[in-house]
Amino acid sequence: MARDYYGTLGVAKDATPEQIKRAYRKLARELHPDVNQEANAQERFREVTTAYEVLSDPKKRQVVDLGGDPLSQGGGDGGMGGGDPFAGFGGLGDIMDAFFGGSGGGGGGGRGPRSRVQPGSDALLRLELTLEECASGVNRDITVDTAVLCDSCDGGGSRAGSAPSTCDTCGGRGEVQSVQRSFLGQVMTSRPCPVCRGFGEVITDPCQQCSGDGRVRERRTITVKIPAGVGDGMRVRLAGEGEVGPGGGPAGDLFVEVEEQPHDRFIRDGADLHCNVAVPMTAAALGTVLTLETLDDTEELTVEPGTQPGTEHVLTGRGLPKLRSNGRVSGHGDLHVHLDVQVPTRLDEEQIELLRQLATLRGEEQPEPTVTANGNGQRQGLFSRFKSFGQR
């Protein structure tokens, strides 16, 4: 059974390296044989020192977090010896496993039983948000259906009052060996035990609630905080809210992916917003002041006399928050207002006569067509810049 290194130091499993170091120094001062003369002080001092050596090593700590013991036989203690040329592999058998898929051709020294405790998988949930919610951020309650720790057996898999028994087939080693003859002589190979599946133990009296898996499926509601400025396809990570692993292993993470819904007035381009505002021909010629609704307020927009079709006004800082990779907001984007000057299609007799009089005054009874081209040699159509933006 894996030792509780965190409990030995009196720290939580999510303790930082600095917290682990402080806890060790405190206990070391209290238990040092030169200071503490109690009978078990020396033994406790050795245990505390061993726990600190394990938890201060990221690789060994990862083994502990997965439910294993890096100092157990075959559990990764090769690095403690200092002079072992195969340090980090746990011996020659592990090297042979790495190259030949688990068929160590030497003396049959395997890695021992694997831990029943395995890390859980990540989970993904998609969340629909409006443009307004993406702009302001929102707290949303979501329902997830994931594997959680079985509260009946606490992940052990056995019924209360019972415990797993040593596998009779492999004798607790988690693997079985066979000898085959070849032109090189006798070759010994190892493979996971088919009875215990490499665990070295068999659950003879499984928990009725989880059937020995150590976890059950449960539907639960959690609150996710969506930061301001998120966009379509972005993911928010909720650590430890994913699937609990087999044997009650550490849970994976839950990722909430944003699905931004199309807006009826605005088109988004990163942190910038674009909108199309229709302006009557007379208002464009004479000038006017328009009241424009933004995402969270209203803004007065001055249309200068003689405004042409396709004119763009930029309202600085009236776009969406700029969300950085660290989750903080640094400024806002802009709101681009594209003016679409509308030419009337239906006129009564009086309106027609007034326009004819205007044309006469301006000398435009028989206007000469003027054709211009854009940078690509193509004629620039009415409001083509905004149309091109919408097709990107």
State residue 391's pLDDT score: 42
CB 167 within 8 A of CB 195: yes
In terms of Cβ atoms closer than 10 Å to its own Cβ (0-12, 13-18, 19+), residue 82 is exposed
Q: What is the mean pLDDT of residues 275-279?
A: 93
pLDDT tens digit sequence for 142-152: 999 999 999 99
281: nearest Cα among 368, 345, 356: 345
The token pair that represents 392 in the structure block: 């990107």
Maximal C-alpha separation, the chain: 115
pLDDT above 50 for 217: yes
Q: Would you state the pLDDT for residue 100?
A: 38
- pLDDT tens, residue by residue, 129-144: 999 999 999 999 999 9
Mean pLDDT of the residues in the chain: 81
- Please state, in angstroms and rounded to a whole number, the distance separating the CA atoms of residues 332 and 61: 42
Q: Is residue 216 within 8 Å of 147, Cβ to Cβ? A: yes
Residue numbering of the annotated binding site for Zn(2+):
150, 153, 167, 170, 193, 196, 207, 210
The DSSP letter of residue 379 is -
Per-residue confidence (pLDDT) for residue 81, from 0 to 100: 38
With a CB cutoff of 8 Å and minimum separation 6, the contacts of 35 are: 29
Q: CB–CB of 20/58 below 8 Å? A: no
pLDDT higher than 60, residue 327 = yes
Check whether 87 has a pLDDT greater than 70: no
Instruction: Tell me the binding residues.
Output: 150, 153, 167, 170, 193, 196, 207, 210
Find the DSSP H helices in 303-383: 349-362
Residue 147 pairs in a beta bridge with: 217
pLDDT at residue 110 is higher than 80: no
Q: Which of 55-59, 92-96, 302-306 comes out lowest in average pLDDT? A: 92-96
Provide the pLDDT for residue 222.
Answer: 93
Look up tokens 């639960």; give the residue. Answer: 220
89, amino acid identity: F
Torsion of CA 196, 200, 206, 211, to 10 degrees: -50
CA dihedral 295, 297, 300, 303 (to 10 degrees): 10
Crossing angle of helices 41-55/58-65, nearest 10°? 100
Q: Looking at residue 372, what is its pLDDT? A: 64
Residue 181, class by beta-carbon neighbours within 10 Å (0-12 exposed, 13-18 middle, 19+ buried)?
exposed
pTM higher than 0.95: no
Go through the domains of the chain in sequence order and give each one's CATH number.
Answer: 5-90 (1.10.287.110), 91-120+165-202 (no CATH), 124-150+211-260 (2.60.260.20), 267-390 (2.60.260.20)
Nearest-angstrom CA–CA distance, 44 and 33: 10
Cα separation values, 4 from 43, 52, 71, 174, Å: 16, 12, 12, 22
211-231 core/surface letters (b: 16 or more CB in 10 A; e: else): ebbbbbeeeeeeebebbbbbe
